[in-house]
Structure 1
Amino acid sequence: MHANILVLPGDGIGTEVTAAAVSVLRAVARRYGHEFHFEERLIGGAAIDATGEPLPAATLDAARKADAVLLGAVGGPRWSDPKAKVRPEQGLLAIRKALGLYANLRPVKPHRATLGASPVKPHLLNGVDLVVVRELTGGIYFGDKTRDAGAASDLCSYSVAEIERVVRHACTLARARRGKLTSVDKANVLETSRLWRETTERLVREEFPDVTLEHQLVDSMAMHLLAKPREYDVIVTENMFGDILTDEASMLAGSLGLLPSASLGDGKTGIYEPIHGSAPDIAGKGIANPYAAILSAALLLRHSLGLEREAACVEQAVSAALDAGVLTGDLAPAGRGVRTVEATRAVLENIEADCYVAELRD
């Protein structure tokens, strides 16, 4: 297969973790006889510094032409003034909107080697395997905003069509898993949530009668996600609720540095990124956890390129590295974490060795 992959390192540790993910994708290409072409462009704070814009036209043009986009992270203290008219996060929101990527998939499956890194008791984590599907291009983040000296407002709005398409995506995913969908809203207070709930009920009833649907209010969901995470399969929710709940869900896995994401639309092109931020406090120190970025590359192989065997190989290689105790500082006891390059090297070695052995077994 030939594929064009756009790499957007972004800011902070984004440059380090995307470099690790690219090295893994190159290894996959060599191992399986593919040809991946990588092009690098600016986004976020780095783009503001270079061009004055968080999403330069050249970056967006390259994204539209690419088969997939691998993103690092955006933002940092130098661009963090909330009063600034131009901010790194605007580039992220704009590229998602421009590419029509309305469904953000965030899988959460704690690894046995990292259960001790989670603040949640290990016995609650065994067997957890869930996916959060977050609506990505609507809601309060994209609504009209006003502010004067005495007040401010942010408009949250959703159309039936926006709700239908993301719920349909979540239902399709649930049907291929354990057949259970949990829809999260705030229907006891918000009109947008009441529309969300009514639309979800109708769509599931009409198109996915084999999927079991339950509703949760977002505040109770925040509690249940930590108290009984094994009960959930696919969780679908609106933009802001999803943003908050998935950061909470990262604690089930032990670290933000373990969770990948895929932003998808109706086509094959998607944006793949770890859910963590730019971590400016450790940027440039060579100690960032590359696993989430590498696992995001696995999602890229699966969803945009249709390479399931290769995606599974990468995921197995990361799992084997964790089994072997190759833990970065966010996962290991104080002072005992490995460096970014060591974690990446362990994955690369496993791709060459363990995946080959797995193929022979198959």
Structure 2
Amino acid sequence: MTKLIALFPGDGIGPEVIAQARRVLDVVCGDRLSYEEGYVGYVAYEAAGHPLPEETLAIARKADAVLFGAIGDPRGDSLSRDLRPEQAILGLRKGLTLFANLRPAKLFPELADASALRPEVASAIDLVIVRETNGDVYFGEKGMRTTANGRREGYDIMSYNEDEVARIARVGFETARARRGKLCSVDKANVLETSQLWRDVVIEVSAEYPDVELSHMYVDNAAMQLVRNPGQFDVIVTGNLFGDILSDQASMCAGSIGMLPSATLDANGKGLYEPIHGSAPDIAGQGKANPLATILSSAMMLRYSLGMAAEADRIEAAVAAALAGGARSPDLGGTHTTVQMGDAVLAAL
């Protein structure tokens, strides 16, 4: 049965990396996948006056999965916040109830020299960050106001209710159960009431998973431990803000932000799949973008939303083989173009 993929290339290097992922999917899946494209980000604003047009959201809702490139354009910085390119991804998460972001970070042995860490430290990285993506300061009340003494003041409200925490905690426990059975919950419970509730609810949910070892860590310590001893982590579960920061940090520990895929899932396994890097407008159109994170995101899509685990394994093995064969884009210290990196994966397939 043919599966429908919503294809949203977006801004900057998004179209370039999506094109390479599409080449790989065409070889691995053939006519078992069909595609419908839509505008997101600044290109959507230019075409339709909004970063997430209703037509694009409708495509996403009827699709079996969403493959997303990147969004962001300096020309959007002067727009009101509700019209900036970033509202496209926030709107998709909210509109599709995509609450669980999975970001694996594992060092390919061939990229040990590309990590910011010493090779013996970096080689131990093999973790998944489970980030909640429907709450926190990203979706809380926010605004600008004037104080009683006439000074400008910005505010963003951080909040979680216990059901939101329990829902993402279960994803964290299930992910850990399928790996090495260790879950670290990251919060800031010594300062934030939101984090105290987070910790309390995670402990309550842990009673359902006696086979998973639960630990807790403050976010500042977690950031330090990711560079000091990343091998101690199996699965990290955390909120939207902390997860955003820690997953980007983990990407550089694993060699390059151009290498890390991600999946954002709803309660039924439908997901949006994207590389964690941005739109990189400074290199857009130059053939310098690394498409491997997007290709690996397409593998996650096959595994988590489309029930094609064997095909996902093939893609991941081909990426490893391409790297072993010496394929390196500029972010990895090489000279391969975006298309040449795609060629190397196809050759390995």
> Deviations 1:124-171 (Å, cap 9, x if unpaired)?
022321000000010000000121242111011101010011110110
- Is 1:15–2:12 an aligned residue pair? no
- Name which of 78, 83, 107 aligns with 1:110: 107
Aligned residues: 344
SS in 2 for 1:244: helix
Q: Which residue of 2 aligns with 1:172?
A: 174
Instruction: Please state how far the C-alpha of 1:239 moved relative to its aligned partner.
Output: 0.1
- TM-score (normalised: structure 1): 0.93
- TM-score (normalised: structure 2): 0.97
| CA–CA distance in structure 2, aligned partners of residues 44 and 89 of structure 1 | 7
SS in 1 for 2:22: helix
| CA–CA distance in structure 2, aligned partners of residues 84 and 310 of structure 1 | 40
Instruction: Please state how far the C-alpha of 1:91 moved relative to its aligned partner.
Output: 1.2
RMSD of aligned residue pairs (Cα, Å): 1.0
Q: Which residue of 2 aligns with 1:222?
A: 223
> Deviations 1:287-346 (Å, cap 9, x if unpaired)?
1000000000000000010111000000000000001110000002xxx42001111011
Instruction: Please state how far the C-alpha of 1:268 moved relative to its aligned partner.
Output: 2.9
SS in 2 for 1:299: helix
> Deviations 1:161-194 (Å, cap 9, x if unpaired)?
1001111011001001000000000000000000
> Deviations 1:73-106 (Å, cap 9, x if unpaired)?
0012111237554101111101111111100000
| CA–CA distance in structure 2, aligned partners of residues 68 and 23 of structure 1 | 17
SS in 2 for 1:64: helix
Q: Which residue of 2 aligns with 1:51?
A: 48
Alignment of 1:206-245 (within 5 A): 207-245=208-246
Q: Which residue of 2 aligns with 1:193?
A: 195
| CA–CA distance in structure 2, aligned partners of residues 128 and 156 of structure 1 | 30
Q: Which residue of 2 aligns with 1:73?
A: 70
Q: Which residue of 2 aligns with 1:183?
A: 185
Q: Which residue of 2 aligns with 1:358?
A: none
Q: Which residue of 1 aligns with 2:268?
A: 267
| CA–CA distance in structure 2, aligned partners of residues 82 and 229 of structure 1 | 39
Amino acid at match of 1:339: T
SS in 2 for 1:147: strand
Q: Which residue of 2 aligns with 1:348?
A: 346
- Name which of 118, 123, 126 aligns with 1:126: 123
| Structure 1 outlier segments of 4+, above 4 Å | 82-85
| CA–CA distance in structure 1, aligned partners of residues 259 and 210 of structure 2 | 34
Q: Which residue of 1 aligns with 2:149?
A: none
| CA–CA distance in structure 2, aligned partners of residues 281 and 223 of structure 1 | 30
Amino acid at match of 2:108: H
| CA–CA distance in structure 1, aligned partners of residues 172 and 269 of structure 2 | 16
Alignment of 1:301-316 (within 5 A): 301-316=302-317
| CA–CA distance in structure 2, aligned partners of residues 113 and 131 of structure 1 | 20
| CA–CA distance in structure 2, aligned partners of residues 10 and 319 of structure 1 | 27
- Is 1:147–2:144 an aligned residue pair? yes
> Deviations 1:24-68 (Å, cap 9, x if unpaired)?
1111113xxx52101110011111111111110011111000011
Amino acid at match of 1:124: V
| CA–CA distance in structure 2, aligned partners of residues 268 and 3 of structure 1 | 14
The question of whether the paired residues in 1 share the 8 Å contact of 2:290 and 2:338 is answered with yes
Q: Which runs of 5+ in 1 are unaligned?
A: 352-362
The question of whether the paired residues in 1 share the 8 Å contact of 2:130 and 2:243 is answered with yes
| CA–CA distance in structure 1, aligned partners of residues 269 and 28 of structure 2 | 20
Percent identity between matched residues is: 51
Q: Which residue of 2 aligns with 1:339?
A: 337
The question of whether the paired residues in 1 share the 8 Å contact of 2:127 and 2:234 is answered with yes
Q: Which residue of 2 aligns with 1:330?
A: 331
| CA–CA distance in structure 2, aligned partners of residues 211 and 269 of structure 1 | 25
The question of whether the paired residues in 2 share the 8 Å contact of 1:125 and 1:252 is answered with yes
The question of whether the paired residues in 2 share the 8 Å contact of 1:67 and 1:268 is answered with no
The question of whether the paired residues in 2 share the 8 Å contact of 1:299 and 1:311 is answered with yes
> Deviations 1:228-254 (Å, cap 9, x if unpaired)?
000100000000000000010001111
